[in-house]
Amino acid sequence: MNEESNEFGLLATTRYVPRLRLERGDVLAQHRWMAPGLKSLAKGRRAMANWDEDSVTMAIEAARQLRTASPGTAVAELTLASTTLPFAERLNAGIVASALGIAPDAVLRDTASSQRAALTELAAALRRPADTAPQMLLASERRIARPASTQEMIFGDGAAGALIGRGAAIATLVASASTHADLVDHFRQTGEDHEYGWEERWVRDEGYMKIAVATLRQCLKDGGVSAGDVTQFAMPAPLARINDAVAKKLGIAPAALVSAEHDSVGDLGCAQPLAMLDIALRAAAPGALVLVAAFGSGCDALLLRRTAVPCPGPVPDEGRAETSYMKYLSFTRQIDLAWGMRAEMDNKTALTAAWRDHARASRFEAGRCSACGTVQFPRARLCVNPECRAQDTQAPTYLADTPARVMSHTTDFLGYTPDPPFQFGHIDFEGGGRVLMEFTDTDVGELEVGLPLRMVYRVKEFDHQRGFRRYFWKATPVRPAASQASPASTTGAR
């Protein structure tokens, strides 16, 4: 065990991006008649959540990646940061913790209201005593922009996360600084989907060039380093050249600017600082100084030193191009399509029944017979094995992380789903267990018997009348993981 393998700091970082990537050119094609100025923003793609993804489900995917990157770490605290949490009065972090099987005595919290909320929490976590129990920080965003707005082009959906504790740290804290300022560059009233933003050059001159620069200078001063020593500088910004101007004013080398992946993903809002931090750490050499900042109602800045421990976990792949702007509008409920009578159903959730069924739905709990080893879902008092039929021998076992394969599949163009066709089938789990369940993120013609699958936590149904949503696990094909290598270039920041 080397000297760096038992330090307090960042144990892992990650980012999750939905598979669908909306082509900005197709968005422009629908608005060119009235907003031709969007052409300057119409390059590349932006991440687009599927209809059954929200800030909770994407946070869960990021959390699962963190667990894979740092196996065996028992999380004592979990924080979920987002400005688009699905519930205003329900602990959204509790949904995440239930899906992950985090211990009931863990401390959970939601944090919102600012795009720098996640970095504020990360700074607070890293400033805690070194013997603090492991903490998981997740940031996730699914923002809805008004059609034909610049935000519609700039925004992207996705999540990022960080694991903080003592162990094989990939980075340690050198210094931090924070400034609060009620400078309103944009805002969104409670209950509204769309935000309202002020003139971007004013935000640059009064916000970034004054408040952010001062905060970053203080952070560098507290760390006892000069701006020229920084090799990775990550800061989300609404205009492409703001980072350049801030870096130049501070004396940070242009080569240190970290890519915001604008052309392939877009701005992830509250999750963007953590996502850019993940990019920066994967590109940084051992001993390098990484400076990350987030602006919004003030500014937070963190100065970290990269260790020699490799960054664990995968990076997002290129996803699948989506050219249907109408699909995007439908998924975000900004257009009301005529789905027919099959879509007319009352999805009222009995909360008492939901609680009784909690373990099955949140953790994909099955039963394993202690007498014969048969796995069955759902768990029951009687073993389904006709040669056993033992009673009260079912020990809980969880299928969420168990590899599976397609046993049979059906593609239904008549049954209602927000993303037709409706695809479902029987799944065989490794080690036993067979379940009839729904597929998601699956192309028509992709399914075949024996295809490897993994489970993902998604929205099962919406109750739009009462504002509730039910979650459950779905199956999706296992696709080749993206390379874990550092990005070839760290330039092109926003």
| pLDDT surpassing 80 at residue 390 | yes
For residue 438, pLDDT beyond 70: yes
Average pLDDT over residues 308-331: 95
CA dihedral over 315, 259, 206, 212, signed as positive or negative: positive
Q: Is residue 489 predicted with pLDDT exceeding 60?
A: no
For 169-195, what is the mean pLDDT? 94
Give the DSSP H or E segment for 12: strand 7-16
Residue 37 has pLDDT above 80, yes or no: yes
Q: What does the CA dihedral 235, 57, 73, 15 come to, rounded to 10 degrees?
A: -30
- Can you give the residue ranges of every domain in the chain? 3-331, 349-364+399-477
Is residue 433 within 8 A of residue 366, CB to CB? The reply is yes
Provide mean pLDDT across the span 203-223: 96
Mean pLDDT of the chain: 93
What are residue 394's DSSP bridge partners? 369
CA-derived radius of gyration, the chain: 23
DSSP for 78-112 reads: EEEE-S--S-SSS-HHHHHHHHHT--TTSEEEEE-
The encoded tokens of residue 59 equal 């946070």
Identity of the amino acid at 303:
L
First-residue to last-residue Cα distance in the chain: 39
Using an 8 Å Cβ cutoff, are 52 and 23 in contact? Answer: no
pLDDT tens for each residue of 131-168: 889 999 999 999 999 999 999 999 999 999 999 999 99
pLDDT band for position 486 (50/70/90)?
very low
294 alpha carbon, distance to own chain's centre: 17
Mean pLDDT of 384-398: 95
CB atoms near residue 125 (< 10 Å): 22
Q: What per-residue confidence (pLDDT) applies to 481?
A: 67
Determine the topology of domain 349-364+399-477 in CATH: OB fold (Dihydrolipoamide Acetyltransferase, E2P) (2.40.50)
Q: Considering the entire predicted model, what is its pTM?
A: 0.94
Whether 361 shows a pLDDT value over 50: the answer reads yes
- pLDDT, position 224: 97
Fold of 3-331: Peroxisomal Thiolase; Chain A, domain 1 (3.40.47)
Which of 298-307, 461-470, 485-494 is least confident?
485-494
Q: Which of 332-336, 339-343, 439-443 has the lowest mean pLDDT?
A: 339-343
Which of 349-363, 450-464, 466-480 bottoms out in mean pLDDT, i.e. has the lowest? 349-363
